[in-house]
Structure 1
Amino acid sequence: MRRRFVIEAVMVATYGQLLVPARPVEYVIPYSTIMELYDMKEGAEPVMDDPEDDRHVKAKIAELIQFFQESLNRKKIERALQSPWRESAPLLLNGEVSFTVVNAMDNAQYGEVFDPIETEQILTASRLQIPLLSDQLELQDRIVNAEVPVQVFDIEDFEFAVEQEMESENDWGATRDV
C-alpha cells in the first residue's frame, strides 16, 4: 500500500529524497501548485538562495514540468480538471513514486490565516484525510495554532512520516510531527 501525502509540486523538485522513499509513496498535488512551477522556472526571482542550488532546482522544476506535460500524464490531468475536487488517475514516476493531481478549490474557509495555495493544500489533506508534507515551519505552526484538523509533517521528518501508519479516523486531528 502506498503512503499518501499532500504536497506542493515545487517540494518534489526541491527535495530529491522525496523521489527515493523507503516504501511506495503517492504525492497528492493540488493543480494550482503545478501552475506555480511555470512561474518559478521562468521567473527572475530565485527559488533558492545559493545561485548553484537555484540553477539545480530550476532544472529539476523543468524536468517535473516535462513529466506533467507528457501526453498520457497531460490527459489524466485534463480529465481531473473537468470538475472540482476530482483526482487524476495516478501518474507513475517510477516503481516507488506516483502523483495524483487534484483539482482543489480554495473556498476561503481559511482565507484569514492561510493564502490560497496553503488553503488548497489544507482542504485537500482534510478532504482526503491524508497528511500534509511541508518545509514551512511557519505554516506548520499556523495549522497547529488554528487547530486545523489535518496532520502535518515537516519535510525533515519525511522518512519517519513514510514509516508511520495512517492515523485512525478517531485519532485524526491537528498534530505536528516535527
Structure 2
Amino acid sequence: MPRRFVIEAVMVTIYGQLLIPPTDVEYVIPYSTIMELYEMKQHNDPVMPNPGDDAHVKQKIGELIAFFEESFNKKKLERALAAPWRESPPLPINDKVSFIVVNAIDNAEYGEAIDPIETELILTALKEQIPVLTDQLEFTDKVIEAAIPVQVFDIEDFEFALEEDSQFL
C-alpha cells in the first residue's frame, strides 16, 4: 500500500525528489492548488528567489499543467469536480508516484487565521486521515497553535515521513 500525503500541487514542481521516492507514494492534491499553478504561470512574480531556479520551477509548472490537461487525465479530473469532496481516480506519474485530485471545499472552519488553501489541506488531511507534506513553517505553526489534529511533515523530512509508521494523530 502506498504512503499517502496531502500536498499542494506547486510543491511537486519545486521539490523534484518528491517524484522519485524509494517507495510507492500517492499525493492527494486539492484541486484549488492546481488552479494556483495557472495563476503562477500567468503572472511574472517569481516563485523562487534565484532566477535560474525560478525558470526551472516555472518550466515544471508548465509541464504539470500539461499533464493535468492531457485528455485522459482531464476526464478523470472533470469527474472529480462533479461534487464536493469527490476524488479523481489515481493519475500515475511514474511507477512509484500517483496523484489523486480532490474537489476540496473551504468552509472557513478555522477563520481568517488560516487561508482557504491551508484550510483545504487541513480538511483533506482530516477526511483522508493522512498527513500533510509542506515547506511552509508558518502553516505548521498555525496547525500547532490551533491544536488541529493533523500530522504535518516538512518536505525536508520527506524520507523520514516515508519511514514513519505512526497512524494519523
* Structure 1 and Structure 2 fold alike (TM over 0.5): yes
> Any idea what SS the aligned residue of 2:106 has?
coil
CA distance in 1, matches of 2:111, 2:43: 26
Q: CA deviation at 1:112?
A: 2.5
Partner of residue 26, structure 1: 26
Partner of residue 156, structure 1: 156
Please show how residues 11-160 of structure 1 align to structure 2 within 5 Å: 11-160=11-160
CA distance in 1, matches of 2:30, 2:51: 28
CA distance in 2, matches of 1:166, 1:37: 32
CA distance in 2, matches of 1:28, 1:15: 16
> Any idea what SS the aligned residue of 1:112 has?
helix
Q: Does structure 2 conserve the Cα–Cα contact (< 8 Å) formed by 1:111 and 1:119?
A: no
Kindly provide the amino acid, as one letter, of the partner of residue 157 in structure 1.
Answer: D
Kindly provide the amino acid, as one letter, of the partner of residue 125 in structure 2.
Answer: A
Kindly provide the amino acid, as one letter, of the partner of residue 35 in structure 1.
Answer: M
Name stretches of at least 5 consecutive residues in structure 2 with no aligned partner.
Answer: none
**Offset from partner CA, 1:110-166 (integer Å, 9 cap, x none):** 123200000000000011110000000111011011100110000000011011124
> Any idea what SS the aligned residue of 2:36 has?
helix
How has the CA–CA distance of structure 1 residues 77 and 113 changed in structure 2, closer, same or farther, with 3 Å as cutoff?
same
Kindly provide the amino acid, as one letter, of the partner of residue 154 in structure 1.
Answer: D
TM-score by structure 2 length? 0.98
CA distance in 1, matches of 2:48, 2:79: 33
CA distance in 1, matches of 2:28, 2:93: 13
CA distance in 2, matches of 1:141, 1:11: 18
CA distance in 1, matches of 2:116, 2:102: 15
CA distance in 1, matches of 2:111, 2:123: 11
> Any idea what SS the aligned residue of 1:133 has?
strand
CA distance in 1, matches of 2:111, 2:117: 10
Partner of residue 2, structure 2: 2
Name stretches of at least 5 consecutive residues in structure 1 with no aligned partner.
Answer: 174-178
Percent pairwise identity: 67
TM-score by structure 1 length? 0.93
CA distance in 2, matches of 1:91, 1:110: 30
Kindly provide the amino acid, as one letter, of the partner of residue 136 in structure 1.
Answer: Q
Q: CA RMSD in A?
A: 0.8
CA distance in 2, matches of 1:89, 1:63: 20
